[in-house]
């Protein structure tokens, strides 16, 4: 399976994405892994193309995310195909276990060994780990 990463420079770039894994990264290290599975990354309740859901980070978080992005943080998203060989929960768990974040995160299920490749705007923390830097 391949995760195609996109670096978002603003809250607005990320807000309408759904069925994604996301990474808040700081100084080339994972700060927090998350998912917007049955929600959008940002905004309030709305419907896009028949999918009605709220935002994982509602508009009240906009100033916080924008501030972090302007002062050294990075935000990456990767779309997950609902028909992919792994579920979004399995992918999130795998990334949390194999690329630990600075913010402690609980694993909600047992971690499976997954075969995942990375393309696009690959986060530095994933590249550094692959290159053993």
**pLDDT tens sequence across 61-73:** 999 999 999 999 9
3-state SS string over 19-88?
EEEEEEEECCEEEEEEEEEEEEEECCCEEECCEEECEEECHHHHHHHHHHHHCCEEEEEEECCCCCCCCH
For residues 74 and 26, is the Cβ–Cβ distance under 8 A? yes
Q: What is the spatial distance between Cα 2 and Cα 80, in angstroms, rounded to a whole number?
A: 9
Cα–Cα separations (whole angstroms), residue 17 to 27, 57, 101: 24, 12, 22
| Maximum Cα interatomic distance, the chain, rounded to a whole number of Å | 44
Q: What is the spatial distance between Cα 73 and Cα 26, in angstroms, rounded to a whole number?
A: 5
Give the global pTM: 0.91
**pLDDT tens sequence across 96-124:** 999 999 888 888 777 888 999 999 999 99
**pLDDT tens sequence across 46-63:** 888 888 888 899 989 999
Tokens of 46: 């709305």
């Amino acid at each position: 399976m391949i995760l195609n990463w996109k670096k978002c420079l603003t809250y607005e770039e990320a807000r309408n994405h759904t069925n994604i894994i996301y990474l808040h990264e700081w100084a080339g290290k994972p700060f927090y892994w998350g998912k917007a599975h049955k929600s959008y990354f940002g905004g309030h309740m709305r419907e896009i193309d028949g999918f009605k859901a709220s935002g994982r980070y509602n508009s009240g978080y906009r100033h916080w995310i924008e501030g972090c992005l302007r002062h050294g943080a990075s935000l990456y998203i990767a779309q997950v195909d609902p028909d992919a060989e792994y579920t979004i929960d399995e992918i999130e768990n795998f990334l949390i276990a194999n690329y630990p974040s600075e913010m402690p995160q609980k694993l909600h299920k047992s971690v499976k060994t997954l075969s995942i490749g990375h393309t696009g705007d690959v986060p530095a923390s994933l590249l550094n780990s692959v290159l053993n830097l």
